[in-house]
Structures are given as structure tokens and as C-alpha cells.
Structure 1
């Protein structure tokens, strides 16, 4: 969130707390099924979140929230509001102030709902500590983006209240989160001494209580200190914390994409400062690969549409509840008539719900078919464009061969011929970048998987494997790369040895299994 690396969405903690709240609430018999349904949707949302599928996570959370509000499950409602506000932090965009405002509303409701719970359980205290973090984070972001420092001052008050709330507990992870977020608030207010002071407080906790601090928080604190020292010009300390953040990322089986993006961006900056442009370029490439994998504007648009649908359903539910109260009043006057009316109304609502559900399914199927057809057309177009680009490169090579034969036979060439030769290149860097861009559209994620399976391959090896994926012959590949047929065969032989593939195994078959 913002440049803040420690946005502190402790989803594992929030999920566990929500589940425990459901176990301890012990609802009446008529609410048990609703509670089980609500807990099931919460688990489903947490699974989506860990797969970085934020849109699906939001859908499940909103469904669970609707059930909790309908059945007055106050504990579940409080924890779900906390989870949804955390999702808005993950979907943060600096220019989308209305979206940040919505997140603020959920975060404020979460704090109020948790405080209102008539219990002092460990789960409630832990969730309230996280709610302080989410609320303060969104206040800081909104104040920075709208250039209204009064929101940042309020964020400082919220973070300070959170620190007072947990400072006498053993929850060192939350304490470190609060200090780091407080540090970034002061950074955005250009108060460098306090920015550094609270970063040091967070780092001190990670150093003194390493087993109590999550990997994500350690990554964020080390990134933040690396960024601070980079800005301050202390490159040696910046590199120290950068390497620590990278080491912590490698320890995580499923690292967070946003944290990876922050660390890779910082590495690019620091290595440029040291003059090591080779490493800077490598990290910049990783940075853009990760950035392309994160949420785009289309995802945010769908997120906002889902929020609108949820609010509409909520208003509709309130209207139905009002109508039901009026019907109950009529029941008091005439029981028999009310039963008849209620029966007719139930049948009508059932029929309308069935028709609406059927219509929605048909519409959903139609939209899915259109999207699939559009994707197929785009893929075919990209495939044809890649084939034309390959043919163009081969044609370039044939032109150069012809010009060279003319020079060998006649010993000279006219000015027009020499001009063609001078302006022709065989797979220049620009050609390859364009070729690679087209290839990625036809086979998305190919180069990322390639590097993941074979991290030691060179750029030349990468090209050979890409040509093999397209079933381009050795002779054509040699022509594309501007090398001899024998050189191409030797390069393929060395590549096979490097990645441990026998001569009788087809390269395309191995690549196709990735």
C-alpha cells in the first residue's frame, strides 16, 4: 500500500480468529446452520486470498457478511468487516480515492464492531489490534493521496492507540506492524527523524523476538530500512537489509507478489546507485514480470461493481424486512387472511426467484461464451502476428544471403544494394524484444516458467527453447539468429547437456510439459 511495505493484512490471523469466534459463539438452534455457512465462506475466501485471487475472496467475504447481518451474528460480522477492509488495502490504487474511502468505511465499522462485542477474549483483542492497523493504514493513504494531512494526523492517533492497546502483551508481531506503519505515516509527513526512529523500534522487535514475528513482517521491516538507507545514501546498510529481505522471501513457500515487487524495485534502485547495471537490469526485469501479475484496472472495476451489487442487495433486504413487519401487523388482525396472503406471497417469491436465477444463469453463460470466443480470436490473431514476424525475420536473412552472394560473385555492389545490406539486421535486440512480446501473448508465462525450471540458462539458450516451442527447424533457427547450421547444432547440444536432456528426447516435448 502506497510505498508502505508493511500494509499488515494478517489474513491467516484474521481467518483463525473468525473461525474461533464461530466456534465460541454457540448460536441458538435456528442460527447454527447460518453460522456454519458463514464460517465455510470465510474459509473459502481465505483460500482465494492466499492464491492472490482477490476478486473471488471479496465475493465470498461479502456473501458471508450478508449472512452474518441477516442472522445478527455480531462476532462474525465484526471479523468479516476487518477482513474486507484489509482487502481494500491489497487493492489500493493512489488515484482511486473513492475506493480508499470505501475501505475507510469498512475499517471504521470494524473497529467500532469489535469494541462493541461484550467479551474480552484473546481473539477479540488480536482482531482489534489488526483493525487499528488497517484503519490507520487507510487513513494515511487517503491523507497522502488527497493532500489532507489531517487524515494522516488521525492515522498517527489510531496507530498510537493501537500501540497502547498491545504494548503490554506478547503480541510482538502486531507491535512491529504498528511501529512500521507509524514510521511510514511520518515519512509521508516528511518527518525524517520520527520516520527512522519508529523503523528502528520495529526492527528492534524483529531482532529481539524473531520467533514471534511473521516472515511477511520481517520482510517488510527490512525492506523499509533498506529503502531508508538507500534514500539517505548509506549504500552498505541498504544492501544489508535488501539481502535480508530477499533471504526471507526465499524462506516462504508462497511469497506475496506485492512484497516481491517492492523488494525487486528497491534492488534495481540500489544496484543503479552502486553502478552495477547488470544486476539492476536483472531486478528491473523481475520487477516488471511481477508487476504484470498484480491486479490491473479491470480487476478494480469488477471489484467496485461487486461492491455496488452488494449495497443494492443490502437495501433490498432492508425493504423486504420492513414489508415483513407490516405483514406481521396484519396477521394480528386477521390470522386466516394473513396465512393465505403469506402462502401466495411465498409461492410468488419462490417462482420469481427461480425465474431470476434461471435468467442469471443464462446471462452468465452467454457472457462466458462471449469472453471465451473473444479470447480465442485474440489468441489466433496473436499467433498469426507471431508467424508473420518470424517469416519477416527469415526473409531478412535471405535478403542478406543474396546480397552476400552478389558480392562474392561480382566483387562489388551498387549503392542501392549496399544501402539494403547496411540497413538489414538479423534478429537485433529490438527484433528480439518485439518477438518476445508477441510470443508472450501466444504462450503467456512461458519465459517465467522457463527461468523457474532452468535458472542457469542464458539469453541465447532462451531463444533456442522459444524456437523449439514453435517447432522451428534447426536450419530456420540458425537463419533467424544469423549463425551457421553447425553453430546452431553445437549450441543445441550444449543446451541439452546443461539442462540434462538426452539426445533422443525432443526439446519441444520437454518444454510442453512445463
Structure 2
């Protein structure tokens, strides 16, 4: 796998060059619908390529002063980043699009953009912000009489109440969403709401009602020819049947879901269907078949994770290149704008001088010499100002370079401190083990002396000087990190802070245990206690949570 990835990264610059050379005329084949259907389809399979195309569209829109195209490009770029899990980058792009739609007073697109931001807040577990944003979108959808948009917002608000286990309110909003979709005749919308209702009924163990809702959802998806959505619904129906003891019917639905997943090359749904088949066969006491499908699910899940990891790597590379180009374009635009201002100023000054010269020459020939002297003085002032501006720009560039170098230096310093701590503790650990072995030997005249040395080494594990140096370097690289952390919990001890700092710098568990002078079992206990203090929900990853702060 490493060898394959190394080859892929070597080929990546060539791929970027080929993609960047593609003309946007290849999108024009979609006619009046514009490039959006093509790009939406491309984003599902090749998000990195879609991101490059959208970036080019955005640049083209800016050059043509096309606010709608610019806003839609940013919005779809944000959607791609959201789908890839880059919530910060997605929110930034959504906010840029929102500013454009507000400036152009495009209420319809502004409502759609707010709706997407609300979904982002929901998945980022900021439920209050999500509800506030949904309300803003709903207000605009009502202003534009967009029934489909209103129904979509009602469905998402229902999700919020379901998340908080307020099922009465969740049912109310899901029913309003269903009525809205029925009014506009949206089969896909109705199918999604029936799926949502089925999930709520399943959580409440009302399996008969859940079965009816899921069946309605499958029927509507089938009429809408949405095979991918059907797979998940069929899996849900299989779950309900399995929970109610109808195992043979459950197997039939799971086999159908698996076949659809294979036909659409959907590895994730193949793994889910295989897992459900394994559960059903296990309940039927057919252990050979159960093992086969559980093992198949495991292999497919590994393939999914491997594929997603590779896609994430490629996407991050594209995102980095785009951001780098954006910074360079912004810098060049700034220089171009400065030069434009200077050119306009020069032209203005020259025109004024000519007018003044003509007027003065026609009326007061005796003052021509004084006017020329005045013009020279003004030109000198202008040149001095221009030199000053260039000097200021250069100083800013040097200041930015200095800050970057300082950050790199601090990062290296942090890495050195960490490495020194690890080496020191490993050395002391080895010495302690050796001395303990000597103590176990039957040389009684050496035991007391050896035990004293072991105690001295144990005491050296608690030496705080290296930790103070490490903490100082860490806070310079990750500014305000501990303040953000204390907002989640006020019960953190200094030992907790040390463990969190080591997790933040991506240190593996073995090195952390050696650095803290504890066993792997003690480390697992410490991580478990830390999850409780930080109120991390079951299933969420501790390291991912710390990296997100």
C-alpha cells in the first residue's frame, strides 16, 4: 500500500496539470441547464476534479462580474468540502457565498445556502446554531413561496428534535415536511420523510409502524429510480423484520439490498448488507453462513476505509493547491490594484497639469515657469509616496516570512522536546528494569544500594523541568488550545493536560506510556477517564476530538 501511494503522489502533479488544462467548454454540452448537473455528478465520484473545475468557474465568474455563478460555485465547493468532512473549509465557502447572495439580493439562493449551513451546524453538533439558521432559511423560503424548500427545512428541524429525543416535536415537523412534499409532488422528498419516520418508530420499538413507513419509502424510491437510496431502506426493513423474528423475510430483503449494492458498486452498502446477513444467519444458527458474511463485511469495510483514505489524501492535496493558488492570486490582485491606483493617479495628475498649463499659458504666460516648478514638486511627492508604498509592501512580505520561519522553528523545538522526553524516559526505564533484575539476584550485599538507585530513577520520572519546557513550546505552536479545552471541562488535572498535549502532537500510545512512565493498561484507564471528563459521547474518537479543538 505504501509503495502504491508513493507512486500515486509522484503522478499527482501530472494529474493536476492535465485537469487544469481541461477547458470549461467540456461542461457546455449540458446546454441550458449549465455546468451544475455535470459538476454535481462529478463531485459524487471525483470530488477533487470537481473542486478544480468549480474553482475555475469561480475565477471566470469574478472576471465576468457574474454574481450568481460566483455564489453557486462557492456553494458547491462548500458542499464538496462538507461531504469530505472538512467542516471549517465548508463553512468559510458557504459564508462567502452568503455574502454574494445578500449583496445581489438573491433570496432563493440565500435560503438554499442558509439551509446548507444549518445542516453543517447539525453534523458539527451545534444544534442551537443549526435551529437558528434553519429558521432564517424557512423565513426566506416562505417569502419566495418555495414549498419544496420549506418541506426540507421541516424535515431537518424534525431531525434536531429526534436528536434531543423529543419525539412528539420530531413527529410534528416530519409530518409537516411530508405534507409539503406531497403538495409539490416530490416522490424523493416523501420517500426521505417516510424513512425518517421509520427510524423514529424503530427507535421507539414500534416495529409494525416502522415497517409500514420503510415500505412506503422503498416504494417511492423505486418509482423515482433512486437505487442507492433504496439500498439503505431495504437494509432498514431487514432490521425491522429481524427484530420481530421474521428471519427468512429479513434474509430476503438483505439479499436484495446486497445485490443492488453490488450492481451499483457501492462498497459501503455492500458491507452494511453483508453485516445484516451475518446477523440473520447467526439468529438462524447457521454459523458457517454467518461467519462468511461477517468476514465479507469486514473485508468490504476495510476496502471502504482504504478507498476513503486515498480519496481524502488526494482531496487534501487539491485543496492545498487551490488555497495556495488563491493566496497567490490575491497577492497578485493586490499588486495589480495598487498599480492600477498608481496609474490612475499618474494619469489624473498629468491631465490636471496639462489643463493648468493650457489655462495658465493662455492667460498668464509670465507664470509658466512657476507652474512647471510646481508640477515637478508634485511629481517628486508622488514618486516618494510610491517608493514608500513599495517599501511598506516589502516590509509586510518580510514580516510574513519571519512569522512563518518562527512558526517552523517553534514546531521543530516542540518535536525536539518531545523526542528528548521519550529518549530520557526510555533510558531511565531500561536502567530501572536492569537494576530491578539485579535486585532479584541473590547478592544481598548489593540489594540495598541497588534499591536506592531504583528509587532515584523512579523519582526522576516525576521531574518537571522537561515538562515545563515542552508545555512552553506546545503553547507557542498551539495558541489558546488549553483555554478552548477548559471550556469543555473544568475538572482536568495536570496529568490530564499532559496526556491531551501528547495526543494533540499525534504521538502513539506506546510512546505516550513510556513518556508518562505508566503501563499500557494504565494509559487505557487514563484515556477512559479523560473521555468522561470531556463528555465525549460513545462512539466518538478521543484523538479526533482533541485534533478538532
Tell me whether the two structures share a fold, i.e. TM-score over 0.5: no
Give the structure with the larger helix fraction: 2
- Which entry has the higher C-alpha Rg, 1 or 2? 2
The higher-RCO structure (CA 8 Å, 6+ apart) is: 1
TM-score range, shorter chain: 0.3 to 0.5
